[in-house]
Amino acid sequence: MTYRSIVLVKQVPDTRHVTGEVMTADGTMNRSALPAIFNPEDLHALEMALQVKEQYGGTVTVLTMGPLQATETLRQALYRGADQVILVSDRKFAGADTQATSYTLKCAIDRLGAFDLVFCGRQAIDGDTAQVGPQVAEKLGVPQITYAESILSLADGEIVVQRAFERGTEIVQCTLPCLLTVTASANQPRPPSVRQRIACKEAAAPGEYPALLQKYPAYASAEALDADLARRGLKIPVWGAADLTVDESLLGLGGSPTQVHKINFVVLETTESKEIPPTPQGIHGLIEELVREYVIG
């Protein structure tokens, strides 16, 4: 028995390393100072899918919804061993909240056809909602196993998973197909393989051909490049609204029940603060003051 796995990934701005340089004095953000990265927990989801493939056989298909630049995340997935990658991209998908995003992903999965397992990271670091996984599962009509830590067995149309719950861990058994959201403690994601990197570095979506033609002048035309990439399995398919069976009223901003009323940049009221010099005398003074004010015993 082999398993058809789908991994949902997201390219995100690296919000973990926001420092004084990124935040400007008026509380706004210098977004260009934040690099776009593979959402960290999605790497753990991909790793779990790749391990299923290695142990039981099958395929790993990676889907991402996002702008053209998100192909970089798909190439990263190819370098790690994904069999097939697809960019789900259309202006009509823009501005989607989790409800519209999960609907779009569900429609893309429908187009892929039958599957056994869907893997997602527990949550993405730009929104921290952890909502898209369960919402995709609901829309597909399959069970969800959130906070999955390891797959203990996979046989006879059933999966046994160890997952984190409120007060510890539990072992659950579930029928296939199902969706898993994977935590960072699940595994150690593999680095990109050098061999795969060399083999797949030209993988590109048609929107990237102009840049690629400049980089590789040997190709006579976009058609020649397209034919060559397609032959080598390196053409990244882009699925837009027209390529999916969708109700357009449920896509993007218009299909999102939630709307942003306002955004406040965070300008904190500065607390009255006292600067303590990092010297033995300074630290002694601080401890004495904390004792004097009954903050510490």
Partner 1 sequence: MTEKRDVWVFIEQDDGQIAEVSLELLGKARELAGTLGSQVCALLFGHQVAHLAESLIQHGADVVLLADHPELEMYRTLPYCRVAADLVRQRQPYIFLLGASPNGRDLAPRIASAVQAGLTADCTDLQIGDYTIKKENRLCKDLLYQIRPAFGGNLIATIVNPNTRPQMATVREGVMQPLPLDPGRTGVVEPVTPHFEPGDFALCVLSRQVRPSSVHLKDAPVIVAGGAGVGSAEEFELVRQLANLLGGEVGASRAAVDAGLISREYQVGQTGTTVRPRLYVAAGISGAVQHRAGMDQSNKIVAINTDPEAPIFQVAHYKIVGDLGKVLPLLIQALKEKSR
Site for partner 1 in 265-284 (CB under 8 A): 265-266, 268-280, 282-284
Residues contacting partner 1: total by CB under 8 A? 86
Q: What is the SS3 assignment for 128? A: coil
Tell me the two tokens of residue 147.
């906070």
Residue from 194, 220, 242, 260 touching partner 1 (CB under 8 A): that is 260
Min dist. Cβ of residue 170 to partner 1 (A): 4
Among 33, 36, 112, 184, binds partner 1 (CB under 8 A): 184
* Cα 79–Cα 80–Cα 86 angle in degrees, nearest 5: 70
- CB of residue 44 to partner 1, shortest distance in Å: 12
Residue 96 CA, chain-centre distance (Å), reads 15
**3-state SS string for 183-243:** CCCCCCCCCCCHHHHHHHCCCECHHHHHHHHHHCCCCCCHHHHHHHHHHCCCECCEECHHH
Quick one: 166 or 214, whose CB is closer to partner 1?
166
Where in 100-139 is the site for partner 1 (CB under 8 A)?
A: 102, 125-135, 137-139
229 binds partner 1 (CB under 8 A): no
Environment class of residue 138 by beta-carbon count within 10 Å: exposed (0-12), middle (13-18) or buried (19+)? Answer: middle
Which listed range, 141-149, 190-198, 210-218, 233-241, lies at the site for partner 1 (CB under 8 A)?
A: 141-149
Note whether 257 binds partner 1 by CB under 8 A.
yes
Residues 20-39 that bind partner 1 (CB under 8 A): 20, 22-23, 29
Least Å from the CB of residue 107 to partner 1: 14
Contact 150, 186 (CB under 8 A): yes
Q: How far is the CB of 65 from partner 1 (least distance, A)?
A: 16
Which of these segments, 45-53, 69-77, 191-199, 264-272, binds partner 1 (CB under 8 A)?
264-272
CB atoms closer than 10 angstroms to residue 295: 9
Q: How far is the CB of 231 from partner 1 (least distance, A)?
A: 40
Closest C-alpha among 177, 202, 160 to residue 75 = 202
Provide the minimum distance between the beta carbon of 227 and partner 1 in the complex, in angstroms, as a whole number.
41
Distances in whole angstroms, Cα of residue 70 to Cα of each of 37, 83, 87, 115:
9, 17, 8, 24
Element (H, E) at 85: strand 84-88
Answer yes or no whether residue 263 interacts with partner 1 by CB under 8 A.
Answer: yes
Of 184, 191, 163, 185, the residue nearest 76 (C-alpha): 191
The nearest distance, CB 48 to partner 1, in angstroms, is 18
Instruction: Give the nearer residue to partner 1 in terms of CB position, either 57 or 277.
Output: 277
Q: Which stretch binds partner 1 (CB under 8 A): 73-81, 107-115, 174-182, 213-221?
A: 174-182
Q: Which of 15, 51, 59, 193 binds partner 1 (CB under 8 A)?
A: 15
Q: Specify whether the CB–CB gap between 183 and 203 falls below 8 A.
A: no
Helix (H) or strand (E) holding 71: helix 71-80
